[in-house]
């Protein structure tokens, strides 16, 4: 193999070798200078892949289509502080067509919520909010109208989780629940937590939070003049559409997978991943005893969208198709995708990511250290598996699919 590498005019700087536990196998570490001819280098990589059981390329000479190490992403949950304030719109900076654009009191209120979110740091308690009469009335209108339709249209997992939110988080027509109360509850169910945000984050930043089981959540309420419409995510959308399902282990794992895939991904992959998120987490349907049910947040927080989704035909979820399907933002969705279960959707998402050749290594979120760990070799995999041995509490915290994820997709990648 060394001779083959030298045949491709690669200047070697350092070579190490050691025997592996698996009989007859040897692990090599080779450091080299950057190759001036990318095409020739990629030919070498293909040759080595055919001659080795596992090949890992780290550095700026990675074949095209894989990650480069220059793409920064947060490695610890506290690093979400670095971009949580980088919203696309916030505070009193409303567009001219926003229902509250000419309402000075509403703009002041939005600025108040923006200051709370901008000043928040990881580890702090989320400030409690005293909601005003108009905000409570808007919440009551939305809550009452949607609540009565959930038993018929929402999936079983949502209905179960919603009842828990009513019981433990203060959900009700006359009370807007506090983010800290919800966050404490979710942490005990699946490890998910909430973090206040002033407005819409970029897809890359928003998805990165999910990798740490953090959901960036707004606290402000839509303008009272149009309680059944909002041009942006608000507390009604977040708390009624998104939050309850984070108490379900399978859904929590599915959501986190979006985040893990996004870390360090190219802009093109982020765009496709955002589209997949749109057609699943935002506007997804699922099959329940042969009946079509709703789990998407955009449907669960809008009666009009809910009715439209139940009247339209849905295609079976195929990530390859959904990732490149266009969609409107300002009108009802003309296309929907149907999943068999959250776990089935998660597995399809993982296979899509593997086919997309995102990276030559796997990422794993360690809930104990709250860090993203890189699994580059079999030794790293074994270390994590060893730490999980006999730890039944982790299955409750992350859900059994996480163990499957580590032993399945990661080991397959390392041993291929």
Q: Which residues are annotated as a binding site for Fe cation?
A: 237, 242, 282
Helix residue ranges, H only, 192-341: 203-211, 235-236, 249-262, 267-277, 297-300, 303-311, 319-322
Catalytic residue among 135, 257, 282, 305: 282
Cα–Cα distance for residue pair 380/171, rounded to 1 Å? 43
Q: Which residues contact 54 (CB under 8 A, 6 or more apart)?
A: 377, 378, 414, 415, 416
Q: Which amino acids are annotated as binding site, given as ranges?
A: 237, 242, 282
Burial class (CB in 10 A: 0-12, 13-18, 19+), 330: exposed
Report how far Cα 159 is from the mean position of its chain's Cα atoms.
22
Alpha carbon separation from 180 to 6, 126, 193, 344, 358 (Å, rounded): 59, 5, 9, 31, 35
373 is catalytic: no
Catalytic residue among 98, 223, 242, 405: 242
Contact 349, 342 (CB under 8 A): no
282 is catalytic: yes
Catalytic residue among 301, 302, 356, 405: 301
Phi, psi (5° rounding) for residue 358?
-65, -45
Candidates 344, 324, 345; CA nearest to 335 is 324
Catalytic residue among 223, 237, 255, 262: 237
Cα–Cα distance for residue pair 203/182, rounded to 1 Å? 23
242 is catalytic: yes
Candidates 326, 97, 83, 319; CA nearest to 216 is 83
Neighbours of 126 (CB within 10 A): 21
In DSSP terms, 175 is beta-bridged to 172
In DSSP terms, 292 is beta-bridged to 287
Candidates 269, 354, 278; CA nearest to 71 is 269
Contact 117, 215 (CB under 8 A): no
DSSP conformation letters of 148-216:
TTHHHHB-HHHHHHHHHHHHHS--BTTB---HHHHHHHHHHHTS-EEEE-SEEEPHHHHHHHHHTTEEE
Residues annotated as part of the active site:
237, 242, 282, 301
């Amino acid at each position: 193999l060394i001779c083959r590498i030298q045949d491709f005019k690669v200047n070697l700087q350092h070579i190490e070798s050691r025997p592996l536990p698996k009989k007859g196998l040897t692990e090599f570490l080779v450091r080299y200078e950057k190759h001036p001819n990318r095409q020739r280098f990629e030919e070498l990589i293909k040759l080595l892949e055919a001659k080795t059981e596992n090949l890992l390329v780290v550095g700026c000479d990675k074949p095209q289509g894989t990650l480069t190490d220059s793409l920064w992403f947060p490695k610890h949950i506290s690093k979400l502080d670095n971009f949580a304030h980088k919203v696309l719109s916030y505070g009193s900076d409303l567009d001219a067509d926003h229902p509250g654009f000419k309402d000075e009191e509403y703009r002041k209120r939005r600025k108040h919520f923006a200051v709370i979110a901008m000043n928040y740091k990881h580890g702090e308690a989320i400030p409690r909010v005293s909601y005003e009469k108009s905000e409570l009335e808007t919440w009551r209108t939305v809550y009452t109208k949607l609540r009565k339709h959930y038993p018929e249209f929402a999936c079983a997992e949502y209905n179960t989780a919603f009842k828990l939110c009513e019981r433990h988080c203060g959900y009700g027509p006359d009370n807007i629940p506090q983010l800290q109360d919800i966050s404490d509850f979710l942490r005990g169910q699946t490890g998910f937590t909430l973090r206040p945000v002033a407005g819409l984050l970029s897809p890359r930043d928003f998805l990165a939070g999910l990798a740490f089981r953090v959901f960036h959540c707004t606290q402000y309420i839509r303008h009272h003049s149009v309680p059944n419409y909002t041009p942006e995510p608000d507390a009604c959308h977040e708390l009624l559409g998104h939050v309850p399902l984070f108490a379900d282990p399978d859904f929590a794992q599915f959501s986190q997978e979006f985040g893990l895939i996004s870390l360090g991904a190219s802009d093109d992959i982020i765009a496709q991943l955002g589209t997949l998120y749109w057609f699943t987490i935002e506007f997804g349907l699922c099959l329940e005893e042969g009946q079509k049910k709703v789990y998407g947040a955009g449907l669960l927080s809008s009666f009009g969208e809910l009715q439209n989704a139940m009247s339209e035909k849905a295609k079976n979820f195929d990530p390859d198709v959904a990732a490149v399907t266009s969609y409107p933002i300002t009108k009802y969705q003309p296309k929907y995708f149907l999943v068999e279960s959250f776990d089935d959707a998660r597995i399809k998402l993982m296979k899509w990511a593997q086919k997309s050749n995102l990276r030559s290594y796997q990422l794993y979120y360690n809930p104990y250290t709250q860090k993203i760990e890189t699994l580059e070799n079999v030794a790293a995999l074994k270390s994590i598996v060893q730490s999980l041995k006999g730890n039944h509490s982790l299955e409750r915290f992350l859900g059994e699919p996480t163990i499957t994820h580590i032993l399945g997709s990661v080991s397959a990648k390392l041993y291929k």
